[in-house]
Amino acid sequence: MNGEKVVEPLSFEKSAPGRKGLPWPVCDVPVIQVDKQIPANLLRTEPAQLPELSEPQVVRHFTRLSHLNYSIDTNFYPLGSCTMKHNPKVNDRIVQIPDFAGLHPLRPHELSQGILEILYEVERWLSEICGMDAFTLQPSAGAQGELTGILVARAYHEHRGEKRPVVLIPDSAHGTNPASVALAGLTAVTVKSTADGQVDLDDLLQKLTKDVALVMMTIPSTLGLFEPRIQDIAKKIHDAGALLYMDGANLNALVGLVRPGDLGVDVLHVNLHKTFATPHGGGGPGAGPVGVKKALEPFLPVPRVAFENGVYRRKFDRTNTIGRVHGFQGNVGVLIRAYAYMRLQGAEGLRDISENAILAANYLKAKLTPLFPKMPAGACMHEVVVSGEGAFGPGVRTLDVAKRLLDYGYYAPTIYFPMIVPEALMIEPTENESKETLDHFVETFRTIIAESKATPDLVKTAPHTTPVRRLDEVRAARDPRLRYKP
Amino acid sequence: MDPKDLRFTKSHEWIAPDGTVGISDHAQHEITDVVFVELPKTGRAVKAEEACAVVESVKAAFDIYAPVAGTIVATNEEGAKNPGLLNKSPYGEGWLYKIQMTTPADRES
Amino acid sequence: MFIPHTDEQKKDMLATIGVARFDDLIGALPKNLVRPKLNLPGSMSEMELVRHMEELASRDHLAQSYLGAGAYEHFVPTAVWSVALRGEFATAYTPYQAEASQGTLQSIFEFQSLICELFKMDVANASMYDGASAAAEACLVAAKHTGRNEILVPETVHPQTLRVIQTYLAHSGARVTSVPCPNGILEPTVLQKHLGPDTAALLIQNPNFFGCLESHVQELSDLIHKAGGLLIASTYPVALGLIAPPGEYGADIAVAEGQSLGLPLAYGGPYLGLFACKNELLRKMPGRVVGQTLDADGKRAFVLTLQAREQHIRREKATSNICTNQALCALAATIYLSLVGKNGFKELATLNFQKAHYAAQVLAKGAFAPVFQHPFFNEFVVRCPTSPEKIVERLAKKRVLAGLPLGAYYKDRADQLLVCVTEIKTKADMDQFGDLLAEAAR
């Protein structure tokens, strides 16, 4: 590879012709000639060049790759907004029960009663937790949930004969919000934030015209703050004929403490992989169920799960539905895990989790305050967002400090988000990290800040102990090499 | 090209008397390493201040606006192939496109 | 269970924060709404939970299934999930910090390479939610790329994929036009009549929803290209061990449901949307993509790249709103393909082909004649002597799934049943299935 050093060769580079990892059984039916049945022009001309490896080689290759990752199972992973909490091991066992794993999505309902009961209950419990009237479990991820929620809201307005082309989104929102709005054919208009990170109410009210279909708010906000005026804001939104959408990325701070529906939220999505502890999997799969108030229920995607006369069924007969967003029922494996998580915890356990997540974030905030001149005052919810400005040595940026944390065995917090906070660090400890870990994390921060002043280059060139060091991202983008070529 | 001969927009594009358009040295510095340039198709008619090209860094994307109304008559294919030229030579080899200004006569027709 | 703090520690933490009680931290929440009573079931121990879940699962126990239609029962080698579920993979997140995520990044790079090989396409992304949304995103790319608005979708495309496309396109300015296929495949003459100056793309599914190979795929490809549109090919990865991949007949975008590559059926998900395209569409491709580069020491390394197309940077102007990929599912597919290997993959496809053709013979002998005469891979439609719904219901009582009655999807196919046979069926299984069907038809 042009003399490049390699941490672990690609599987393709370990391949040798004729090697086999998985023998198939001998064909036990009379063999017919393939090319008699399929004309040559429809057949593949040369086999796909897949690697040829033995099973032990494959197992070792991927196990060695796994060692190059930081993960919750191995490291504190304080990635703000992503809620990197422990994923219960029992759930791995549950989803592999053969009678779950083998469930075909088009089974008739009489052969799907167990799984339909689970889906039905997940819908009901999410409704209960969120104070909503109905849920769809179909969306595969938060962003697809957003699209679904916006399409449902749009359909609701149009059904009432109203054309409302605008969606208001605070400038602190996740990038998926405006992207989902665009995909739904609406126009995103940005609402400013005030200096303390809350929505600028004057700006919101000024933009809250008859054209507004929806106001999308992340609650608690991406700054980890609960908007104390939320009920009043909801009322003003409703008075203007618009709906309040809650980006539920941070629902894990509210479960059992307050119900979004009670606050005036009309539609929301929940990221099950965050709040309900399903594995993030290196970037998915997640699940983004969408909850709505009664008036929006007719527009939810089909199929819906119903329980009638003691039998669970999938229902397709919804004339006002927005249609389907998933080829089948959604990420059911993720939904089973969320079901199991809720059953393990019960209502009290879920609330206890929220409270401990908030406690840990505020503890971390208190301990970090002496290190950060721009630490905002007051309590936060489940995560603490702070600007790195003024905290580090000359020329050292938040990015450098984040990279240096990797050297100490911590994954980096979310950085440079939300965009309204300069040099932002967004730290989310979750309820799982012990006081000892949190204390050690703070001490590490103290050490790195001292390093940034005494030996700034050490920090600016970090990381030093990871499998690879800083990457040339410009090279990657200017000359994209996106696949192995022999 | 000598920056003295160029007219600059508030959004940091420049336009030469012959209609060649690029980004300012200040802009290329702010953008950091340019990794991709998306150019308009030649023959496209653009309005003044219409976004008609995109310059990307690793972490951001910037719309480039047409300084005047007109028709795109040439684009810098070399710059598209080698985006680093925008950093190296913003007023020379790193130009973006050439625009033929809409004449008053055109406007009337 | 998952919370480590002792009561003593909690007290210490509150003292450090400088508040007397926990409730002082949530003063911003409306007092009258705090701590609502939630009507949820009580908590269970892990032991009780396992028992409860096993009981729920057992209710739907099945002996045998001949149901395919977009989700396929293939053998999953044990090593696939034994490795994929390692905590270092499963409990990591999006590899934004590349230095601490090379395992995930390299596995995605290998995944992209494998998908390109399989499809014979230039580039592939890191995966999407499922095959249906990948198809929908492909339609959006085609409309944007061509500046045209009509997507032609033959009746031989999975009806549920079509539903998802319609949802995604509803407000995009693009529209779907259905093209009739009374003969079970798309005829070039029929396509010709539907082509127009606003045709952005033709989406074909090959093998199609009825299991038939689209026999005229090269002509279809030539026709749509001549009309200035793109060819989007939705395919079935396992079939590509035998049949021509999309790249060989000139597809501009290839998509697929990747579930067949080592993922369990799991009642519909999580699955794996595969998306690959020609180089010239790279910048319009939705979703994450991993690229190769060098680190500060000149070591080969992998990183998320071309991110300026994506929502977290481009926001409302992004190529798509997608953020996540199905990374863990993509990893499973990567391990699966590495294990099965070059020759094994062809063998697997051949086994599917042989067994399905044997089953078709068995069924034909028992008065379930094939509806189409086109070449097929491992799925086919038969005409039933009595109502397919009744047959399915009768076999369900014996915990056997006979297939998918087509009446619910196509009014004029009320007597037809879609049957799928993969490598996992033995000759004895299929002989028995033939007997059961014959009995049910009486």
> What is the 3-state secondary structure of C2-70?
CCCCCHHHHHHHHHHHCCCCHHHHHCCCCHHHCCCCCCCCCCCCHHHHHHHHHHHHHCCCCCEECCCCC
Q: With a cut of 80, say whether residue A19 has pLDDT above it.
A: yes
Q: Return the residue of B nearest to C317 by Cα.
A: B61
B84 contacts A478? CB cut-off 8 A: yes
Rg of the Cα trace of chain C? 25
Which DSSP string corresponds to C293-328? Answer: EEBTTSBEEEEE--GGGSHHHHGGGSS-S-----HH
Q: How far is A477 from chain B (nearest CA, A)?
A: 6
Beta strands in A179-226 (DSSP E): 187-191, 212-218
- Report residue C12: phi and psi, to 5°: -60, -45
Asked which of C298, C314, C336 is the last residue of a domain, the reply is C336
Distance from CA of B36 to the nearest CA of A (A): 7
pLDDT at A3: 52
Which residue in A has a C-alpha nearest to residue B37's C-alpha?
A478
C416 contacts C384 by C-beta, under 8 angstroms: yes
Averaged confidence pLDDT in chain C? 97
Residues of C in contact with B60 (CB under 8 A): 308, 313
- Chain B positions in Cβ-Cβ contact with residue C307 (cut-off 8 Å): 58-59
pLDDT at B6: 93
**Interface predicted TM-score (ipTM):** 0.97
**Which of B33, B41, B58 has the most C C-beta neighbours within 10 Å, making it the best mutation to test the interface with C?**
B58
The reply to whether residue C269 touches residue A174, judged by beta carbons under 8 angstroms, is no
Give the one of C28, C240, C354 whose C-beta lies nearest to A44's C-beta: C240
C-alpha C89/C-alpha C80 separation (Å) is: 12
User: What residue ranges define each of the domains in chain B, with the CATH number in brackets?
Assistant: 3-102 (2.40.50.100)
Return the residue of A nearest to B33 by Cα: A474
Out of A50, A176, A412, name the one closest to residue C97 (CB): A412
| Percent of chain C whose pLDDT exceeds 90 | 95
Return d(Cα C113, Cα C333) in angstroms, integer.
12
Q: Is the domain of C268 the same as that of C163?
A: yes
Q: Write out pLDDT tens, residues C93-134.
A: 999 999 999 999 999 999 999 999 999 999 999 999 999 999
Domain stop point among C292, C311, C336: C336
Do residues C170 and C301 both lie within one domain?
yes
b/e sequence C345-367, b meaning 16+ C-beta within 10 Å: bbbbbbbbbbbbbbbbbbbeebe
Q: Is residue C118 located within the same domain as residue C100?
A: yes
Q: Which of C167, C300, C316 faces A182 most closely, judged by CB atoms?
A: C316
Helix then strand then coil, in percent of chain A rounded to 5, is: 40, 10, 50
Name, in order, each residue with C-beta under 8 angstroms of A334's C-beta and a sequence gap of 6 or more.
Answer: A272, A273, A278, A285, A286, A287, C269, C270
Handedness of CA C366, C368, C369, C372 (dihedral sign): negative
Write the Ramachandran bin of A103: left for phi over 0, alpha for psi from -120 to 50, otherwise beta: beta
- Please answer yes or no on whether B58 and C308 come within 8 Å at the CB atom: yes
DSSP E strands, chain B: 7-8, 13-15, 20-23, 36-38, 45-46, 51-56, 61-65, 70-75, 97-101
C279 and C346 together in one domain: no
In this structure, are residues A403 and A463 in contact, taking their beta carbons and an 8 Å threshold? yes
Residue where the block lists tokens 């992973």 = A77
Q: Which has the closest alpha carbon to A253: A76, A442, A429, A446?
A: A429
* Domain limits, chain A: 11-66, 91-345
Q: What residues are paired with A415 via a beta bridge? A: A425
pLDDT digits (tens, 9 = 90+) for B72-92: 999 999 999 999 999 999 999
Q: Are residues C321 and C361 in the same domain?
A: no
Chain A residues with CB-CB distance to B under 8 A?
473-474, 477-478
* CA neighbor of A266 nearest in space, from A231, A287, A232, A294: A294
CA angle A304–A269–C2, rounded 5-degree value: 105
Whether C308 and B38 lie within 8 Å, measured CB to CB = no
- Taking the C-alpha atoms of residue A378 and residue A85, their distance in angstroms, rounded to an integer, is 25
Q: How far apart are CA C129 and CA C127, in angstroms?
A: 7
CA distance B23 to chain C (A): 19
Quick check: C121 and C240 in contact, CB under 8 A? Answer: no
pLDDT single digits (tens) C265-324: 999 999 999 999 999 999 999 999 999 999 999 999 999 999 888 888 888 888 888 888
Residues A432, C401: C-beta atoms closer than 8 Å? no
**C314 shares contact with chain B (CB less than 8 Å):** yes
Task: Answer whether B61 sits within 8 Å of C313, measured CB to CB.
Answer: yes
d(CA A28, CA C36): 62
* Alpha-carbon span B36 to B24, nearest angstrom: 17
Domain count, chain C: 2
Q: Which of A144-158, A175-189, A367-381, B95-109 has the lowest mean pLDDT?
A: B95-109
pLDDT of A247 strictly over 80: yes
Residues of B in contact with A472 (CB under 8 A): none
**C194, C226 Cβ separation under 8 angstroms:** no
- Chain B, chain C: beta-carbon pairs less than 8 Å apart: 18
**Span C179-188, pLDDT tens digits:** 999 999 999 9
Q: What percent of chain C has pLDDT over 70?
A: 100
- How large is the average pLDDT for residues B30-53? 94
Mean pLDDT of C361-372: 96
Q: Which of C96, C279, C307, C319 is the best substitution to test chain B (most B C-beta atoms within 10 A)?
A: C307
CB pairs under 8 A between A and C: 687
Give contacts of B58 with chain A, Cβ < 8 Å: 473-474, 477
pLDDT more than 90, % of chain A: 96
The chains in contact with chain C, meaning 3 or more Cβ pairs closer than 8 Å, are A, B
- Among partner residues C17, C58, C338, which is closest to A51 by beta-carbon distance? C338
- C107: closest CA of chain B, how far (Å): 22
User: Is A65 in a helix, a strand, or coil?
Assistant: helix
* Structure-block tokens of residue A222: 């991406």
Exposure letters B54-85 (e unless 16+ CB within 10 A, then b): bbbbbbebbebbbbbbbbbeebbeebbebbeb
Contact C36, A259 (CB under 8 A): yes
Task: Count, in order, helices (H) and strands (E) of chain A.
Answer: 16, 12
Helix (H, G, I), strand (E, B) or coil at A396: coil
The helix (run of H) or strand (run of E) holding residue A136 is strand A134-136
Same domain? C155 vs C259: yes
Q: Cβ of C25 and A359 within 8 Å?
A: yes
User: Tokens 């619910």 label which residue?
Assistant: C408
Q: In this structure, how many other beta carbons lie within 10 angstroms of the beta carbon of residue A127?
A: 18
Number of C-alpha atoms within 13 angstroms, CB side, residue A330? 33
Which runs of consecutive H residues, i.e. helices, occur in A369-466?
Answer: 398-407, 435-454, 456-460
The residue among A4, A28, A95, A106 with the most chain C CBs within 10 A of its CB, best to mutate, is A106
Chain C: nearest CA to A243, how far in angstroms? 19
Q: Residue C268's domain is classified under what CATH number?
A: 3.40.640.10
C-alpha C96/C-alpha C108 separation (Å) is 13
Give how far A39 is from chain C: nearest CA, Å: 8
Residues A408-436 have pLDDT tens digits of 999 999 999 988 999 999 999 999 999 99
DSSP C222-285: HHHHHTT-EEEEEE-GGGGGTBPPGGGGT-SEEEEEGGGTT---GGG-S--EEEEE-GGGGGG-
Which residues on B lie below 8 Å from A478 (Cβ)?
33, 35-36, 83-84
Inter-chain residue contact B56 with A477, CB threshold 8 Å: yes
- Would C57 be classed as within a structural domain? no
CB contact under 8 A, C89 and A332: no
Helix or strand holding residue C354 (H, E)? helix C327-365
Contacts of A61 in chain C (CB under 8 A): 338
CB contact under 8 A, A478 and B36: yes
- Contact yes or no for A477 and B84 at CB 8 A: no
**Which chains have 3 or more CB–CB distances shorter than 8 Å to chain B?**
A, C
Task: Kindly identify which residue of chain C lies nearest to residue B62, measuring between CA atoms.
Answer: C314
Of C318 and B41, which is predicted with more confidence? B41
- The reply to whether C24 falls in a domain is no
Q: Identify whether the C-beta of residue A147 lies closer than 8 Å to the C-beta of residue A326.
A: no
pTM here is: 0.97
Chains in contact with chain A (at least 3 beta-carbon pairs closer than 8 A): B, C
pLDDT tens for residues A306-317?
999 999 999 998
Q: How far is B82 from chain C (nearest CA, A)?
A: 16
pLDDT in the model for residue A84: 96
- On whether both C375 and C406 belong to a single domain, the answer is yes
A226: which chain C residues are within 8 Å (Cβ-Cβ)? 26, 28-29
Percent above pLDDT 70 for chain A: 99
Give the A:B interface size as CB pairs under 8 Å: 13
Kindly determine whether residue A18 and residue C343, on different chains, have CB atoms separated by under 8 Å.
Answer: yes
In which residue are the tokens 């027709």 written? B109
CATH architecture of the domain with range A91-345: 3-Layer(aba) Sandwich (3.40)
Nearest to C313 among B35, B38, B59 (CB): B59
Contact C313 B36 (CB under 8 A): no
Is the CB of residue A392 less than 8 Å from the CB of residue C46? no
- C258 and C393 co-located in one domain: no
Q: What H or E segment, with its residue span, contains residue C427?
A: helix C427-441
> Range of C265's domain?
78-336
pLDDT at residue number B106 = 43
Examine residue C20 and state whether it is found in any structural domain, yes or no: no
* CA–CA–CA angle C9, C15, C18 (5° rounding): 145
Give the other-Cβ count within 10 Å of C62's Cβ: 18
Is the pLDDT at A2 greater than 80? The verdict is: no
Asked if residue C37 belongs to a domain, the reply is: no
Q: In what order do the strands lie in the sheet with A384-387?
A: A384-387, A424-427, A414-415
For the domain that residue C365 is a member of, what is the CATH number? 3.90.1150.10
Same domain, C325 and C350: no
DSSP A422: T
The answer to whether the Cβ–Cβ distance between A473 and B36 falls below 8 Å is: no
Q: Which two tokens stand for residue A171?
A: 């400038």
Cα→Cα distances A407→A400, A448, C247, C414, Å:
11, 10, 44, 64
**Under 8 Å between Cβ of A362 and A428:** no
What pLDDT shows up at residue A1?
45
Residue type, A355: E
Nearest residue of chain B to residue A477 (CA atoms): B35
Q: Cβ contact (<8 Å) for C30 and A38?
A: no
**CB-based burial of residue A167 (10 Å sphere; 0-12 exposed, 13-18 middle, 19+ buried)?**
buried
Report the 10 Å Cβ neighbour count for C189: 10
Q: Residue for token digits 């719309």?
A: B63
Distances (CA, A) of A50 to A12, A275, A485: 7, 38, 12
* C103 and C139 housed in the same domain: yes
